[in-house]
């Protein structure tokens, strides 16, 4: 147990550093709270992200706290991992490729008693990362006068703790408390070609910290000895997350390669709230023994209710449908290792919160993956590959095509078992 605790502490420190990396390079991360990280655990990514009704004694499902009653007695589950994403961005005239790497999760789960289970961990919530520029034109004579540069970085992470209780057989209810923290930085520079004009720059930093809560329900029905169907439901409360915005607007001039500030126009700190919109998600899982597994989810979130310091970002309500399947040829095979592997396939379609001139952007993806058990060990590796696209080149927008690879390692240990000596 001491070794496991030490490992959790070490990786927690690494995760805190890794979560500060720029996990996106998308221009669309300028809006709202940035690019949202939804269902990025590799095991669930291979299902297209569906996981609301997923329950397994050897897997921690942080997306539905009611699943925490599924852990075996005396078990201690630990999982961590990361992902790599390559994105091709293009408009009607240009294209650009970017690569991003990031931490995906650090979670543990364990039973508290026969009817109670718990889990805790850290997950990324959203990321901001972009670099853009546009030509500045004088409205009077329609001539080029300079260039505007836009930069953004930062991200929000969450630490959660959740518990679940099974009041009657096959029905569980769970509650999860999540603490959001992090910062989002957005900067703008206006550089003029005419040195008689003073350049300007604006820096805006948003720092967030606060709690929100999620409720989960899970019902399992045994159709036969081998077949089982499960229904899951999750939702969160309408939450206000405390926020602080620091703004600095000033003019500057270049001294060699360095920027020398001249006059300050705005230098202020504002306190307020971020209204985190409510969401609901329902899902089902059908299991046929240990060979076949089918999962499906449908979710909605009211992003039109989003606001930051009483300012709206013209976001739209989002919807998402996802599903997938898993096939395990022979879970108990001794001679054929490949038969004990899990083979997964999935897909998803979503209307994102991004809305431009009445056009809501869609995102589509297909995915596949593998669950790879380690011989003579309780360790398992999960790999996923997601191929998708978001946006369009119409209406002067940007289309993104991406490939995201995920890898995690999970360990199923045993704790609170007394050693016996001869």
The total domain count for the chain is 1
What average pLDDT does the segment 162-186 reach? 95
> Does 419 reside within a domain?
no
Q: Which residues pair with 176 in a beta bridge?
A: 162, 214
> Does 184 reside within a domain?
yes
Residue pair 252/246 in contact (Cβ under 8 Å)? The answer is no
> Does 421 reside within a domain?
no
What average pLDDT does the segment 291-297 reach? 96
Is residue 3 very low, low, confident or very high in pLDDT (cuts 50, 70, 90)?
A: very low
> Does 226 reside within a domain?
yes
Residues sharing a CB contact under 8 Å with residue 256, sequence separation 6 or more, in sequence order: none
Distances in Å between the alpha carbon of 263 and those of 249, 260, 331, 384?
9, 10, 70, 52
pLDDT of residue 142: 53
CB atoms within 10 A of CB 156: 25
Taking 50 as the threshold, does the pLDDT of residue 10 lie above it? no
The range of the structural domain enclosing residue 63 comes to 2-414
Containing H/E element for 18?
Answer: helix 2-18
Residue pair 165/69 in contact (Cβ under 8 Å)? The answer is yes
Give DSSP secondary structure letters for 75-125. EEEEEEEEEEEEEEEE-SS-EEEEEEEEEEEEEEEEESSSSEEEEEEEEEE
Return the exposure string of 199-235: e unless at least 16 CB atoms fall within 10 Å of the residue's CB, then b. bbbbbbbbbbebebebbbbbbbeeeeeeebebbbbbb
Q: What is the mean pLDDT of the chain?
A: 88
> Does 242 reside within a domain?
yes
What average pLDDT does the segment 192-214 reach? 88
> Does 159 reside within a domain?
yes
Higher pLDDT, 345 or 393: 345
Considering the entire predicted model, what is its pTM?
A: 0.88
Q: What is the CATH number of the domain that holds 167?
A: 2.40.160.60
> Does 146 reside within a domain?
yes
At 64 the three-state DSSP class reads coil
Is residue 419 very low, low, confident or very high in pLDDT (cuts 50, 70, 90)?
A: low
> Does 88 reside within a domain?
yes
Distances in Å between the alpha carbon of 230 and those of 115, 168, 327, 422?
18, 15, 18, 45
pLDDT of residue 7: 46
Is residue 2 very low, low, confident or very high in pLDDT (cuts 50, 70, 90)?
A: very low
Is residue 140 very low, low, confident or very high in pLDDT (cuts 50, 70, 90)?
A: low
pLDDT of residue 241: 93
pLDDT of residue 5: 46
Containing H/E element for 127?
Answer: strand 116-137
At 73 the three-state DSSP class reads coil
pLDDT tens string 277-286: 999 999 999 9
Residue pair 67/214 in contact (Cβ under 8 Å)? The answer is no
pLDDT tens string 52-99: 999 999 999 999 999 999 999 888 999 999 999 999 999 888 899 999
């Amino acid at each position: 147990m001491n070794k496991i605790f030490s490992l959790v502490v070490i990786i927690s420190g690494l995760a805190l550093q890794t979560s500060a990396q720029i996990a996106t390079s998308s221009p669309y991360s300028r809006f709202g709270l940035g690019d949202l990280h939804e269902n990025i655990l590799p095991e669930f990514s291979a299902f297209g992200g569906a996981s609301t009704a997923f329950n397994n004694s050897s897997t921690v499902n942080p997306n539905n706290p009611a699943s925490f009653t599924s852990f075996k007695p005396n078990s201690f589950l630990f999982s961590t991992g990361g992902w790599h994403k390559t994105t091709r961005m293009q408009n009607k005239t240009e294209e650009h490729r970017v690569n991003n790497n990031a931490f995906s999760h650090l979670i543990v789960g364990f039973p508290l008693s026969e009817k109670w289970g718990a889990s805790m961990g850290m997950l990324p919530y959203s990321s901001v990362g972009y670099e853009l520029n546009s030509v500045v034109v004088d409205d009077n004579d329609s001539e080029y006068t300079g260039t505007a540069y836009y930069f953004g970085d930062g991200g929000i992470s969450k630490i959660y703790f959740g518990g679940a209780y099974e009041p009657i057989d096959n029905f569980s209810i769970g509650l999860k408390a999540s603490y959001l923290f992090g910062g989002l930085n957005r900067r703008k520079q206006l550089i003029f070609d005419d040195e008689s004009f003073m350049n300007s720059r604006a820096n805006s930093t948003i720092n967030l910290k606060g709690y929100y809560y999620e409720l989960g329900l899970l019902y399992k029905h045994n159709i036969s000895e081998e077949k089982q169907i499960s229904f899951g439901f999750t939702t969160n409360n309408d939450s206000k997350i405390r926020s602080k915005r620091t703004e600095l607007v000033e003019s500057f001039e270049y001294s060699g390669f360095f920027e020398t500030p001249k006059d300050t126009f705005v230098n202020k700190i504002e306190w307020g709230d971020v209204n985190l919109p409510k969401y609901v998600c329902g899902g089902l899982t059908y299991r046929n023994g240990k060979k076949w597994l089918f999962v499906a989810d449908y979710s909605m979130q009211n992003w039109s209710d989003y606001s930051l310091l009483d300012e709206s970002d013209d976001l739209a309500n989002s919807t998402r449908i996802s599903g997938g399947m898993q096939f395990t040829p022979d879970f108990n095979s001794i001679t054929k290792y490949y038969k004990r592997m899990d083979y997964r396939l999935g897909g998803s379609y979503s209307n994102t919160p991004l809305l431009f001139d009445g056009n809501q952007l869609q995102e589509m993806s297909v995915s596949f993956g593998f669950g790879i058990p380690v011989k003579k060990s309780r360790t398992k590796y999960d790999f996923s590959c997601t191929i998708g696209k978001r946006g369009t080149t119409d209406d002067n927008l940007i289309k993104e095509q991406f490939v995201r690879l995920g890898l995690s390692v999970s360990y199923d240990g045993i704790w609170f078992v007394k050693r016996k000596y001869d």
